[in-house]
Amino acid sequence: MNYLLYGVEPFLMEKEVKKILVKEQIEEVDLSRYEYGIDSIHKILEDAETMPFFAEKKGILVEEAIFFNRGKGTEEELEELLTYLKNPNPSTILLFLNHNATVDNTKKITKAIKEKGVLKELTMNNPTREIEEMFTGYQIEKTVIHLFQERVGDDLNQLQEEAEKLKLYKIEEKTITKEDVLALTTVTIDTDIFRFIDYIIQKEKEKVLIMYEEMIKEGEEPIKMIALLASKFRLMYQASELTRLGYSQADISSTLGVHIYPVKLAIQAGLKYNRSLLLSYMKKLSELDISIKTGKIEPVLGLELLLLEV
């Protein structure tokens, strides 16, 4: 059986791979790992065509399988892969991992996967359910789950790490409370920067101050915050403009040289606001940076004035 998994959530990708390996009864020792770009399709297929030595089946996992996207992969590579997919080795389980939001469904190799394998998009349709699964075996109220997500953000890998920390802390009681979440989880500017930006743009000063004060308590430097805000406003502007021009998330990621997950978040955030508003904040942050570097204003005061301006 051949599988093509695609999506921008590494957590969901890893979870689905584990499920497939269990279903296909493949142990880690019988799994070979490759990465397209480092390993050639020819090398991968040579392995796929050989029989397993100590088990009935073996697995081959191929990271960065971008040849399922438009314009990727050479003609020779695609033909060799298509030939294999038409008559695959029944003893080999091939798992192609594509960390993009879309694949090209018009390509022959994508159609071949659909016909003789499994093509699956991995998206986070219900983050609350994913978080509930992370706390399986523990008592945790929905209001606490919402608080947990609000503080940690939407990155499932980060959510998993923070969930494991809470579970270890309450391993005896098996009950996680609001107080536990507030005590053990941290809000950082990297965790939920676009929500912070929403609060700034929408002039929700109380929420801005709560997030800002927590970041300061956690040792975030105002200079770092200013630089990060500037880079995210720029990414929001660029990603939303390219989206309006018809670029896909994968194209934008490639064009800007930014991983597709922050691109996805930037598009979602940027499309909510008009270009002139985003440009105005980019200008304000640039002017603040110049004022700090020329000694006209202290970083802490400058950032606070920007965050609280009416």
Q: What's the whole-model pTM score?
A: 0.62
pLDDT at residue 300, rounded to an integer? 86
* CATH of region 127-185: 1.10.8
**Residue range(s) occupied by CATH 1.20.272.10 in the chain:** 196-308
pLDDT at residue 258, rounded to an integer? 79
DSSP state, residue 51: P
pLDDT at residue 32, rounded to an integer? 95
pLDDT at residue 89, rounded to an integer? 94
DSSP state, residue 52: P
pLDDT at residue 187, rounded to an integer? 66
Q: Mean pLDDT by 10-residue block, N- to C-terminus, for the chain (310 residues)?
A: 89 91 92 93 95 89 92 91 93 93 90 92 80 93 88 79 94 94 77 83 88 79 88 93 87 82 84 91 92 91 83
User: CB atoms < 10 A from the CB of 243, how many?
Assistant: 19
pLDDT at residue 46, rounded to an integer? 95
Domain 2-121 adopts which CATH fold?
Answer: Rossmann fold (3.40.50)
**Residue range(s) occupied by CATH 3.40.50.300 in the chain:** 2-121
267: closest CA among 241, 231, 301, 306? 241
pLDDT at residue 251, rounded to an integer? 83
Give all strands (DSSP E) within 171-291, no chain letters: none
**Residue range(s) occupied by CATH 1.10.8 in the chain:** 127-185
pLDDT at residue 206, rounded to an integer? 87
pLDDT at residue 84, rounded to an integer? 95
pLDDT at residue 250, rounded to an integer? 79
288: closest CA among 269, 310, 307? 307
DSSP state, residue 33: E
pLDDT at residue 310, rounded to an integer? 47
pLDDT at residue 65, rounded to an integer? 93
DSSP bridge partners of 175: 139
Element (H, E) at 304: helix 299-308
Domain 196-308 adopts which CATH fold?
Answer: Zinc Finger, Delta Prime; domain 3 (1.20.272)
**Size (the chain), residues:** 310
